[in-house]
Every structure is written in C-alpha cells, then in structure tokens.
C-alpha cells in the first residue's frame, strides 16, 4: 500500500514537472498560435547558461537564478526578433517549420559554444529527498511542483483576467484585427517568447538538478508533449490536471507493468492514453473548441 | 501557363501533363541522363543518388498527404519503417519476387497509415501533427518488444543477397537503376492521383473541410485516403531502403527523419509533386556539402578543431532552412513558377 | 662451354630474382585505412580521443614494425555522424577512394549499414566497442575487439560473487537499462537470460527500465536496495549512471555500482565532480582500466604521447581507441608476415584475423586477453577476458585483470 502511494505521489510530482515544461508550449501557443517544437532546445540554452554561471563563473546560487532569468529573457527576445517578427500574419505552418529549423539550429549553436561533452549540472535545489516514514519524495521535484502550481495560477490570472493577457489571446486569434484594434502585436508576441524561454529555464533547473547535462537533455521536452495535448493547447489551468494524470499513469506502469514485460511500456502509455482522449475530445480535456464557419 | 502560341484541339491533349513536344523531348533527355548517370560519375554519387530517390518517394507521399490534403503527418518515417520491416520479412520467404515484396510492404504500411488516418477524421491541426508523433513512438516500442523471432527485436532484420529478374542486385549501380525505376513509376502514379478526382477532393478538404463536406465530399474518407497514400509511398520507400541496405533496424526510422522529410517538402514547396523532388534534392545536396566540405575546412583552419567545424556546419544547415522559410515560405517551386512565368511572358511584365 | 654459359645465365637469373625479391623490403606499399568517425553526432565530443589514439598507434606501428615489413598505413577520417543512412551513402565513395584492406568502425550504425555488404566488398572492419547479442552471427566482417556487453557484465558478476560474496551463495544484483537504444535493450535481455540460467550465481532482484536521461530514479533505487541488492549495474548511458549515483547519495547508502567502458569511471568523473563521489564503484570491460597504476599500458600511452604526438588524456575513450588500433595493426602485421607486405588484401586480412591467435602481450594490456576471432561470432569467442577497476582512496585502480567470463548461449 505504501509502495502504491509512493508511486502515485512521485508520479504526480513528475507529472507536474512535465507540466512546467508544457507551460512553455502553452504560453507561446496561447499568445501566437505557434507550436514551438524548439521548447526543449530553449531549455537547453537555459540549462547551459545556468551551468556557465554556476560552474563556469562560480557565482553563488543567489546570483545565478536572476542572471539566468535575465539571459532567458534575452534569448526569447532575440529569437522572436530574428525569426518570428517577419512571419507575423504568415501561415501558422511556416512558423512551426521555423521552430523545427530552430531545433537543428540551436542544437548546433550549443555544440559550437559549449561542446558535446557531458557535464555536471549544479544542484540549485537541495538534493536530499524528503522522507516521511516510508514515503520518499525528491525535494527538487516537490519544489518544482509547488512552483508549477504557483506559476500556473499566476499565468492563468494573467491570461484570463488582466488586460494585457487578454490582448495576447486576441493577437493569437487574428493579428491583423488585433492591430486594427490598436493592440501592440509585436510587443505581445515578444513577451510570449520571453515568457516561454524563462519557463524553459526554470524547467531545466528543476529537472536537471544535480544531474548531468548534455545536448541530448533536450529530448525530455518530447515526454512533456502528451501533457500539453491532453490538457489542450490553450488551457493553462488544465495542465495541472493533465500533468498529474500523465505522471501517475507513467509511474504506475513503470512500477507494475515494465518489470513483467521486460520492456519500457511507460514511455508509450502516455502517448496511447493521449490518443484515446483526443479521439473522444479532439481538442484535449480543456482546450478551446473552435466553431468553424464556412 | 502555356507559352504563347500553344493551343490544343482535343480535350485529352488539353489535359495532358506533358504539354508540348519540346517538353516531351526534354523529359526523355532528362530521364536518359539519369539512367546514364552511373556511368560517368564515381561511386559516391551513385549511392547518394539512390538514397535521394528513396527519400524522394517518401517525400512525395508526404506531399500528397500534407501538401495536397492538408493533413500534417510527422510519422512518415515510422510508416517507412513499417514498409521496410514488412518487405524484409516477405523477402525471407523463398522464391518471393522482389517487386511483389515491395508492393506488399507498401500495402502493409498503408494499413498502418490508415489506423492513424482514422484519428485524423476527428482530430485536426496541431493535435493531428502531434498524434502522428505517437506513431513514431508506438512503432519504436512495438518493434523492440514484439518477440525477436517476429521482427528481429533490437538487432533488426538481415537480408542475404537478392535477385531481381535473375540478376544479383547487390551492386550500387543496380540498386541505383532499381530505385530510379521505382521512383519514376511512383512519381507517375503520384501525378495520376493528384490530377484525378481524388486529388481534387484532397485539395478541397485542405482548403476548407467543412465546406467540402457540405458539397458532398466524404471528408473522413478523404482524410483516411490521404494517409493511406502517404503510408503506401513511405512503405515502398522503406522496402527499397531494406533492399539497398539489407538490414533494417529501428534506429533508421526516427522522429528526426520525419522532421527532415517535412523540411524537404517545405523547402521544395507545399502542394507540388515536382516541389517534393526539388526539395529532397536540395536538402540532400546541402547535407552532402556539409559532410564533404567539413574535412577540407578542418585542414584549412586546423585551430578550429574538428568538432567545432562539423557542429558549425550543422548550424549552417539549420540556418539555411530557417532563412529559406523566412524569405521564401512558399518554397523553391514558387521561385521556379515565377521564373517560368516571367520567361514565357517576356518581354511583357505581366 | 655451352654448359658453363647456361649455368652462368641461370645463376644471373637467380641472382636477379633474389635481388628483385629483396628490393620490396626497402620499397614500401602504402595502404589507406578508412577511419569512420563522428564529428557532428552524439560522440563528437569524444572523437578527438579516438581519432588521436588511432593516429598515434598507426604512426608508432609504421615506424616500429611497418618499416620492417614494407608496409605503411595511412589513416583517412570520414564523418558518419553516427547515422546509418549517412554511413551507407558514404561507404561506396570510401571504397572507391581508399581501396581499403581493413578499416576502423565506430559503433552500431556503421555495423548496421555495412554488415551485409562487407562480405561482398571484402573489407574487414575493427570495432572498438563491445558487441551485441543480435550481432552474434557467423561470418561477420565487422570484428569487435571486445565480447558482448553481456559477457562483460556477467564476467563481473561472477567475479564479484566469488570475491565479495563468498562464492557459495547467489549474489543479489539489480540493473538499470533503457529500451530507447537497441544496444542497451539487448543488454537487459541478455542479463535476464543469464540470471534465469544461473540461479546459483546471481539473483537478479530487478531489471529497471528508465529513460536514457531519467529525471529521478531515487524511488526505483530504493526499491531495489530494499530488496537487498548488493551491487547495482548501470552499464547503459552516462546520464543514467549519474542519476543512479545521485539517487544513491540522496538515499545516503553506499552500495557499489558497476559501469561499462563508454560510461567508465574516468568518463563519469567530470559530471560527478571528482573521483571522491565514485568511491567504491567498479568498471568492468574488455578494455584497459585507465587508473593510476604504473602498468605496461600506461607506459605505452606515455610513449605515444612523447614520441607520436598523442594529445588525448589518459581516459577510457583513449584506451578504447588505442586498443582498437592495436588490434588492427597487429592483424596487418600478422598478414604481412605470412604473405608479404605488398600482397595484402581485405580477404587475406579477414582470413588472417580468423586464423591467427593474437596473444595478449601484443596489446600491452589494452585488451582483456588474447584476441582470437572465429567464424562463429564477430568478437573473440574462445576465451574473452575482462579487466576490472575500482575507485579506492579517491583514485582509480586496477583490481583484477584478465578475468574470465562465463560461456554464454545466445539469448
């Protein structure tokens, strides 16, 4: 029983960390209708920056975090400025293809600047787990999950209750109409990308805490994909629930099914589950349903 | 548009794909050059050639599904893998004719594709794109976890040397000619599909599927058909790949490969079969250039270090793709069409 | 008179023939050796170690042995990006431009791409990585200097059972691996099969499958430690090794871990911040343990650094590269001694490698034991040996060399 509870709780925590990564996807999608395939690579940039600041320049953690955030904001701004400013109003497909091109580009840049060797990632959060009797909870994930909840609540409020947040949604719906309504479209899209990059950096700090970092670390974004789709690409609050569901399923399958079949079903069960849900609700659990008119 | 002075007196001539005699001659000369290609280049280009043909077949399938029918498909590499495995398994049956195995491999892949096409009937847009990523993950999992006697498990399947029409086709040249032949057939088939009423249904569904439904087009059936076609083409390409390498394994068919194929399609231009061919050629040549220039650059600038040079070249490739998308999102075919039109209208501006 | 003239003519002819035969000993035949490398893929960061060691060993051999046999080897690198498709399309060009008699292979993708066509192209390749269960087929032309990963792992398990667990009862073992890569998935299958067949030696508590870059494995590790695991095997990826180590530290336990050659202790030292974190852990493989001992291998390495421009540090990947290169040059040497330095072909080299037993001392300790290929497998099947190293007192030391591995059936 204790084991089962452990798996469930750890699954929820892992799921919430995935939700943290998915927040990046959702924020950028919500504000510009672009699905950012390069979210994992943004995480990579943030992670390497944190490494450089912490282990390269040996700054104390108190300084590392704000400087890393500032750097992430800069990356987001730079990417938006260089690539997406020209594409405002173009087909969404082209913009998505640019993000795919960015995947290759950013990986290459990281390889050139930092090289391909595995390196140690600093432990900015405590590594000792929280042990309550038989329950074992990794501290970094607890903090990460708590942070996710707070961030999600904040972003939900921002997007749904503040003026600027609502303008972001308007920009995503139809940039030209938004322009004619006097909304600063470029500023909105820039902000979305800067936010996305920041969230990616936070995700890196939580996920890679104390472990190793290499170019392949970007693949974890793929694991966060089912969470984003399950919640629905526009839903911020829904990510918490979707993250919990995907995390619990993955954890339970890994604990009970994998040893039996001698394989790794836990990596595809989230995808299969997501497929089922999408067939029933084609826009995810909480995604917006669009009315299509002819 | 046709050049000035070209007119037709019968409906079938008006509808023809190859419109004038000079065009027919040019096409034949081009095909002849392709056939004679192996005789005047070195082996590197021959293997590059058939690799390009194989990829082109898969990209054409992708073009029909995504460019013509608007169904984003990020699982094309998985469909290729299914076709490769099916073909390899069939070729283990003694006496199995090569072309039949290829065809059946394509059909198996088509069945796999139809399964994902069925989800397309309900799911749209990005959600569809991302469910096709699930196709990749599921393919990977199934191959590794089904019993090794079925699909070779982690090691993949091996094929011994193969016979085609009584000849051993192990050599690079015969592989080149085989792939060229299959590519020509598949391209002709692709043109046939997109110029038929099925092709028109695809485009109608792409442009506005609700309106298409209202006009009596079976939207769900059309979408499933699009995936079927894409998967069939991918399956044939995968079968050829299995024949060329004589070894299939799960790592040859990854999500990254699917992404590259989409890149080729986009660079060539959405919605054009010739565009798919051009895009494949362009991207493969670019990657080839990176690989070949790398060692020479390293020798020129030894201080840079090998790893930086090669990584830098990948950055260059990614940049090229991105720049392309920024400055010519409609692809190379758009440029070609503009060039053709201005040439035909010359000296008039429009 | 006629007789004397005939005798003189024959004698002159014989002298000329002898002279001609002696001449090639001074002339050198140059052979180009393709070196399949990875400069822009996952192993790009370690390629300098491999490439550098291959070059250095070839330069050493050319000077020492090659000159006597009239053979000069020239290495040419080709970037395969560790990708099957790239290797397959690169290979015909490599064949045509270098006309190789033997070559350096890098890993899984080039084996996959080339296995089927090498028997036709008649070029054997030497692989520095361990073999896999699914590669265990007869008449292979990509020959690995090491046996399969499973041989190396089970060899360690048997040694550990004998020396650390008393030798009378089965030792409790857990292993972490992943399905994401066929090589690593194969490791899992092989060890499970071995455990089933040898319940008196090993009690496999659990085979844990996690992602190659796991977020956190504390829970899984706690599960296996609670089940009594005495040693935990983590032979798959570097990231998994780091994650398991961190989990072990988080739990405050100190059960020893075991790693393979590609995630060896010298490789893990950097991401974990020093050897102190790895105290008590093992590495076991059929390559050299790059420890602080003053061994023959270390002296050979120092010589390469001093005289042949080797810049790579004393590190697991350097050791793998040197071992691979040594097997290649010894193979060429054996063939040249048998048939003459100017008559080498790929087919001859393949035959030589299969027929000759290359003694361990020819490799200065860079391999586990003798290298003796047979037609049944692409690795030394007759009596492969492994080396085991451990970190003690903050330093990596050799603990056991030339340890035998169990005879395994295919799994």
The yes-or-no verdict on residue C22 having pLDDT over 60 is no
The yes-or-no verdict on residue C19 having pLDDT over 50 is no
pLDDT of residue C97: 80
Q: How far off is chain A from C218, nearest CA to CA, in Å?
A: 7
Distance of CA B127 to the CA centre of its chain: 23
- Closest-approach residue (CA) in chain A for B269: A94
Judge whether B217 lies within some domain: yes
Confidence band, pLDDT 50/70/90 cuts, at residue B96: confident
**Residue range C344-360: average pLDDT?**
87
Q: Flag if B310 and C179 touch (Cβ within 8 Å).
A: no
The predicted-structure confidence for C220-241, as pLDDT tens digits, reads as follows 888 888 888 899 999 988 888 9
Q: Mutating which of C216, C223, C239, C246 best tests the A interface, going by the most A Cβ atoms within 10 A?
A: C216
Instruction: Output the average pLDDT for chain B.
Output: 86
The predicted-structure confidence for B178-188, as pLDDT tens digits, reads as follows 999 999 999 99
Contact between C200 and C165 (Cβ < 8 Å) = no
Q: Flag if A101 and B318 touch (Cβ within 8 Å).
A: yes
Q: Which residues of A touch C179 (CB under 8 A)?
A: 263-264, 267
Confidence band, pLDDT 50/70/90 cuts, at residue B194: very high
Judge whether A4 lies within some domain: no
To 5 degrees, how large is the angle CA C270–CA C273–CA C278? 90
- Helices H / strands E in chain C, number of each: 14, 14
Q: Please give the Cα distance from A49 to A121 (Å, whole number).
A: 11
Q: How far off is chain A from B252, nearest CA to CA, in Å?
A: 17
Q: Please give the Cα distance from B309 to B315 (Å, whole number).
A: 10
Q: Please give the Cα distance from A8 to A268 (Å, whole number).
A: 18
Q: Flag if B308 and A112 touch (Cβ within 8 Å).
A: yes
Judge whether B141 lies within some domain: yes
Q: Please give the Cα distance from A245 to A21 (Å, whole number).
A: 15
Q: Flag if B306 and C133 touch (Cβ within 8 Å).
A: no
Q: How far off is chain C from A264, nearest CA to CA, in Å?
A: 6
C206 contact A CB<8A: yes
Residue in B152, B244, B307 closest to C39 by CB: B307
Contact between B20 and B5 (Cβ < 8 Å) = no
Q: Is B7 exposed, middle or buried (0-12, 13-18, 19+ CB in 10 A)?
A: exposed
Q: How far off is chain C from A216, nearest CA to CA, in Å?
A: 8
- Output phi, psi for C284, to 5 deg: -140, 125
The yes-or-no verdict on residue A113 having pLDDT over 70 is yes
Q: Which residues of B touch A32 (CB under 8 A)?
A: none
The yes-or-no verdict on residue C16 having pLDDT over 50 is no
Judge whether B326 lies within some domain: no
C374 contact A CB<8A: no
Residue in C51, C112, C117 closest to B249 by CB: C112
Contact between B329 and B267 (Cβ < 8 Å) = no
Contact pairs from chain A to chain B, CB under 8 Å: 123
The yes-or-no verdict on residue B310 having pLDDT over 80 is no
pLDDT of residue B122: 81
Place of tokens 């204790």: A2
The yes-or-no verdict on residue B110 having pLDDT over 90 is yes
The yes-or-no verdict on residue C7 having pLDDT over 60 is no
Confidence band, pLDDT 50/70/90 cuts, at residue C21: very low
**Could you tell me the CA-to-CA distances from B53 to B178, C44, C157, C240 in Å, in that order?**
10, 29, 49, 39
Helix, coil or strand: residue A39: helix
Q: Which residues of C touch B43 (CB under 8 A)?
A: 92-93, 95-96
C58 contact A CB<8A: no
pLDDT of residue C20: 43
C140 contact B CB<8A: no
Judge whether A237 lies within some domain: no
Judged by average pLDDT, the poorest of A192-206, C98-112, C146-160 is C98-112
Distance of CA A213 to the CA centre of its chain: 17
Confidence band, pLDDT 50/70/90 cuts, at residue B232: very high
CB atoms near residue B308 (< 10 Å): 18
Contact between C363 and C92 (Cβ < 8 Å) = no
Confidence band, pLDDT 50/70/90 cuts, at residue B294: low
Percent of chain B surpassing pLDDT 70? 92
Percent of chain C surpassing pLDDT 90? 8
Instruction: Output the average pLDDT for chain C.
Output: 84
Contact between B196 and B204 (Cβ < 8 Å) = no
C47 contact B CB<8A: yes
Q: Give the total residue count for chain B.
A: 350
pLDDT of residue A141: 83
More confident residue, C373 or C4: C373
Distance of CA C133 to the CA centre of its chain: 15
Q: Please give the Cα distance from A138 to C219 (Å, whole number).
A: 9
Out of A96-100, B36-40, C178-182, the most confident range is B36-40
Among candidates C187, C222, C183, which has minimal Cα distance to C207? C187
- The radius of gyration computed from the CA coordinates of chain C, to the nearest angstrom, equals 24
For residue C81, the number of C-alpha atoms closer than 13 Å in the C-beta half-sphere is: 21
pLDDT of residue B298: 66
Helix, coil or strand: residue C74: strand
Q: Please give the Cα distance from C58 to C342 (Å, whole number).
A: 18
C149-285+387-404: CATH number: 3.40.50.2300
Q: Please give the Cα distance from B103 to C279 (Å, whole number).
A: 58
Q: Which residues of C touch B314 (CB under 8 A)?
A: 40
Classify domain C28-147+293-380 at the CATH superfamily level: Response regulator (3.40.50.2300)
> For residue C72, what are the β-bridge partners?
C30
Instruction: Output the average pLDDT for chain A.
Output: 84
pLDDT of residue C18: 47
B174 contact C CB<8A: no
Chains near A with 3+ CB pairs less than 8 A apart are B, C
Among candidates C267, C324, C365, which has minimal Cα distance to C56? C324
The predicted-structure confidence for C323-347, as pLDDT tens digits, reads as follows 889 999 888 888 888 888 888 888 8
Domain residue spans in chain C?
A: 28-147+293-380, 149-285+387-404
DSSP C25: G
Indicate if the alpha-carbon torsion angle B164, B169, B174, B177 is positive or negative.
Answer: positive
**Residue range C129-154: average pLDDT?**
86
Structural domains in chain A (count)? 1
B51 contact C CB<8A: yes
pLDDT of residue C17: 43
Judge whether B312 lies within some domain: no
Confidence band, pLDDT 50/70/90 cuts, at residue B266: confident
Confidence band, pLDDT 50/70/90 cuts, at residue A43: very high
Going by their DSSP bridges, the two strands B167-168 and B163-164 should be labelled as antiparallel
Among candidates A187, A234, A285, which has minimal Cα distance to A25? A234
Q: Is C119 exposed, middle or buried (0-12, 13-18, 19+ CB in 10 A)?
A: middle
- Closest-approach residue (CA) in chain C for A208: C215
Distance of CA A44 to the CA centre of its chain: 12
A141 contact C CB<8A: yes
Q: Flag if B322 and A271 touch (Cβ within 8 Å).
A: no
Going by their DSSP bridges, the two strands C257-259 and C231-233 should be labelled as parallel
Q: Flag if A275 and B119 touch (Cβ within 8 Å).
A: yes
**Residue range A53-62: average pLDDT?**
83
Confidence band, pLDDT 50/70/90 cuts, at residue B166: low
Residue A162: give the domain boundaries.
19-218
Indicate if the alpha-carbon torsion angle C35, C39, C43, C44 is positive or negative.
Answer: positive
Residues of B at the A interface, defined by Cβ within 8 angstroms: 72, 119, 122-124, 126-127, 129-131, 133-134, 137-138, 140-141, 144-145, 208, 210-211, 214, 255, 259, 262-263, 266, 270, 307-308, 311-312, 314-319, 321-322, 325-326, 329
Q: Mutating which of B115, B130, B210 best tests the A interface, going by the most A Cβ atoms within 10 A?
A: B130
Residue in B46, B294, B310 closest to C92 by CB: B46
Q: Say yes or no: do domains C28-147+293-380 and C149-285+387-404 share a fold.
A: yes
Indicate if the alpha-carbon torsion angle B302, B304, B306, B312 is positive or negative.
Answer: negative
pLDDT of residue A222: 79
Among candidates C279, C240, C280, which has minimal Cα distance to C262? C240
List the alpha helices (DSSP H) in chain A: 2-32, 39-51, 61-79, 92-114, 139-161, 163-173, 175-180, 185-207, 220-231, 238-252, 258-261, 269-280
Q: Tokens for C203?
A: 């009690």
Structural domains in chain B (count)? 1
Asked if this assembly's ipTM is beyond 0.95, the reply is: no
DSSP C143: E
C189 contact B CB<8A: yes
- Closest-approach residue (CA) in chain A for C49: A117
pLDDT of residue B306: 59
The predicted-structure confidence for B28-46, as pLDDT tens digits, reads as follows 999 999 999 988 887 788 8
pLDDT of residue C253: 86
Q: Which residues of C touch A120 (CB under 8 A)?
A: 242, 270-273
Judge whether A212 lies within some domain: yes
CB atoms near residue B286 (< 10 Å): 16
Q: Which residues of A touch B312 (CB under 8 A)?
A: 108, 112
pLDDT of residue A6: 85
- Output phi, psi for B242, to 5 deg: -60, -40
Judge whether A88 lies within some domain: yes
Contact between C207 and C187 (Cβ < 8 Å) = no
Judge whether A226 lies within some domain: no
Q: Please give the Cα distance from C250 to B56 (Å, whole number).
A: 52
Residue B150: give the domain boundaries.
41-253
Judged by average pLDDT, the poorest of A85-89, A285-289, C225-229, C384-388 is A85-89
Outline where DSSP puts E strands in chain A.
119-120, 130-132, 135-137, 212-213
Q: Flag if B127 and A104 touch (Cβ within 8 Å).
A: no
For residue A241, the number of C-alpha atoms closer than 13 Å in the C-beta half-sphere is: 11
More confident residue, A157 or B167: A157
A267 contact C CB<8A: yes
To 5 degrees, how large is the angle CA C271–CA C276–CA C282? 80
Place of tokens 């290459």: A108
Confidence band, pLDDT 50/70/90 cuts, at residue B299: low
DSSP B215: T
Q: Please give the Cα distance from C75 to C344 (Å, whole number).
A: 16
Among candidates A288, A86, A37, which has minimal Cα distance to A173? A288
Residue in A100, A225, A283 closest to B263 by CB: A100
Q: Flag if A117 and C207 touch (Cβ within 8 Å).
A: no
Q: Tokens for C395?
A: 């330093």
Contact pairs from chain A to chain C, CB under 8 Å: 99
Q: Mutating which of B306, B314, B315 best tests the C interface, going by the most C Cβ atoms within 10 A?
A: B306
pLDDT of residue C181: 78
The yes-or-no verdict on residue B135 having pLDDT over 80 is yes
């Amino acid at each position: 029983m204790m084991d089962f509870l452990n798996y469930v709780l750890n699954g929820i925590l892992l799921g919430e960390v995935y939700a943290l990564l998915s927040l990046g996807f959702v924020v950028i999608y919500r504000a510009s209708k672009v699905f950012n395939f390069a979210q994992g690579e943004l995480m990579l940039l943030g992670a390497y920056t944190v490494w450089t600041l912490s282990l390269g320049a040996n700054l104390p953690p108190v300084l590392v975090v704000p400087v890393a955030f500032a750097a992430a904001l800069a990356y987001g701004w730079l990417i938006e400025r260089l690539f997406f400013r020209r594409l405002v109003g173009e087909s969404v497909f082209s913009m998505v293809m640019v993000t795919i091109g960015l995947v290759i580009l950013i990986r290459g840049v990281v390889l050139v600047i930092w090289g391909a060797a595995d390196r140690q990632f600093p432990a900015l959060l405590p590594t000792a787990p929280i042990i309550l009797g038989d329950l074992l909870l990794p501290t970094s994930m607890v903090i990460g999950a708590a942070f996710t909840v707070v961030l999600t609540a904040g972003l939900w409020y921002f997007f749904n209750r503040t003026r600027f947040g609502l303008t972001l949604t308007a920009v995503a719906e139809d940039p030209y109409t938004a322009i004619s309504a006097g909304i600063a479209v470029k500023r909105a899209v820039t902000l979305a990308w800067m936010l996305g990059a920041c969230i990616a950096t936070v995700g890196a700090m939580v996920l890679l805490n104390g472990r190793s970092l290499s170019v392949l670390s970007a693949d974890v974004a793929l694991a966060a994909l089912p969470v984003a789709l399950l919640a629905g690409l526009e839903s911020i609050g829904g990510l918490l629930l979707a993250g919990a569901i995907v995390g619990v399923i993955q954890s339970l399958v890994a604990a009970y099914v994998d040893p039996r079949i001698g394989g790794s079903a836990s990596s595809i069960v989230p995808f299969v589950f997501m497929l089922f849900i999408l067939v029933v609700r084609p826009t995810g659990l909480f995604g917006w349903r669009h009315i299509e008119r002819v | 548009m046709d050049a000035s002075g070209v007119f037709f007196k019968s409906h079938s001539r008006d509808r023809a794909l190859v419109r004038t005699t000079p065009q027919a001659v040019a096409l034949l000369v081009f095909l002849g050059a392709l056939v004679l290609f192996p005789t005047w280049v070195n082996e590197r280009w021959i293997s590059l050639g058939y690799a390009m043909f194989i990829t082109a077949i898969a990209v054409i399938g992708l073009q029909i599904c995504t460019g013509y029918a608007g169904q984003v498909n990020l699982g094309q590499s998985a469909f290729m893998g299914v076709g490769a495995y099916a073909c390899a398994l069939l070729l283990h049956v003694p006496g199995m004719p090569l072309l039949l195995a290829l065809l059946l491999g394509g059909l198996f892949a088509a069945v796999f594709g139809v399964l994902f096409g069925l989800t397309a009937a309900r799911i749209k847009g990005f959600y569809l794109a991302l469910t096709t990523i699930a196709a990749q993950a599921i393919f990977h999992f199934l191959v590794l976890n089904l019993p090794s006697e079925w699909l070779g498990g982690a090691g993949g399947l091996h094929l011994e040397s193969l016979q085609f029409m009584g000849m051993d086709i192990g050599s690079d040249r015969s592989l080149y000619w085989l792939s060229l032949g299959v590519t020509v057939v598949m391209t002709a088939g692709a043109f046939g599909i997109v110029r038929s009423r099925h092709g028109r249904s695809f485009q109608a569904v792409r442009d506005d599927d609700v309106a298409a439904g209202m006009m009596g087009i079976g939207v769900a059936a059309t979408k499933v058909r699009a995936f079927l076609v894409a998967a069939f083409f991918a399956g044939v390409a995968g079968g050829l790949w299995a024949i060329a390498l004589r070894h299939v394994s799960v790592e040859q068919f990854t999500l990254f490969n699917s992404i590259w194929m989409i890149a080729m399609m986009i660079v060539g231009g959405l919605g054009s079969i010739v565009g798919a061919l051009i895009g494949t050629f362009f991207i493969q040549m670019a990657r080839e250039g990176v690989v070949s220039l790398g060692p020479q650059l390293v020798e020129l600038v030894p201080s840079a270090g090998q790893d930086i040079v090669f990584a830098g070249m990948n950055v260059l490739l990614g940049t090229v793709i991105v720049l392309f998308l920024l400055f010519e999102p409609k692809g190379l075919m758009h440029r070609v069409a503009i060039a053709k039109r201005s040439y035909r209208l010359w000296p008039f501006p429009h | 008179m006629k007789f004397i003239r005939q005798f003189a003519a024959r004698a002159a002819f014989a002298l000329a023939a002898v002279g001609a035969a002696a001449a090639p000993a001074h002339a050198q035949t140059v052979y180009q050796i393709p070196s399949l490398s990875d400069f822009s893929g996952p192993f790009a960061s370690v390629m300098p170690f491999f490439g550098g060691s291959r070059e250095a060993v070839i330069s050493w051999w050319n000077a020492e042995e090659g000159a006597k046999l009239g053979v000069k080897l020239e290495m040419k690198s080709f970037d395969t990006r560790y990708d099957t498709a790239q290797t397959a399309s690169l290979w015909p060009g490599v064949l045509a431009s270098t006309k190789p008699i033997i070559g350096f292979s890098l890993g899984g993708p080039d084996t996959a791409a080339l296995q089927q066509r090498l028997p036709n192209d008649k070029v054997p390749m030497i692989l520095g990585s361990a073999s896999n269960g699914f590669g265990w087929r007869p008449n292979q032309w990509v020959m690995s200097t090491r046996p399969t990963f499973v041989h190396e792992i089970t060899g360690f398990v048997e040694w550990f059972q004998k020396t650390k667990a008393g030798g009378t009862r089965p030792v409790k073992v857990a292993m972490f691996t992943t399905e994401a890569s066929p090589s690593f998935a194969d490791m899992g299958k092989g060890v499970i099969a071995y455990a089933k067949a040898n319940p008196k030696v090993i009690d496999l508590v659990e085979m844990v499958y996690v992602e190659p870059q796991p977020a956190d494995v504390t829970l899984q590790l706690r599960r296996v430690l609670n089940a009594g695991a005495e040693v935990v095997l983590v032979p798959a990826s570097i990231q998994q090794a780091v994650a398991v180590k961190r989990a072990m530290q988080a739990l405050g336990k100190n059960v020893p871990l075991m790693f393979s050659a590609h995630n060896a202790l010298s490789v893990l030292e950097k991401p974990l911040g020093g050897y102190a974190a790895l105290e008590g852990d093992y590495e076991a493989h059929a390559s050299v343990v790059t420890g602080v001992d003053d061994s023959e291998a270390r002296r050979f390495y120092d010589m390469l650094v001093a005289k042949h421009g080797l810049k790579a540090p004393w590190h697991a990947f350097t050791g793998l590269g040197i071992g691979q290169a040594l097997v290649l040059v010894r193979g060429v040497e054996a063939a040249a001694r048998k048939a003459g330095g100017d008559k080498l072909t790929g087919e001859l080299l393949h035959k030589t490698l299969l027929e000759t037993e290359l003694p361990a001392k020819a490799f200065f300790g860079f391999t586990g034991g003798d290298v003796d290929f047979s037609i049944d497998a692409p690795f030394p099947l007759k009596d492969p040996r492994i080396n085991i190293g451990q970190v003690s007192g903050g330093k990596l030391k050799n603990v056991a060399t030339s340890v035998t591995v169990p005879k395994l059936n295919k799994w």
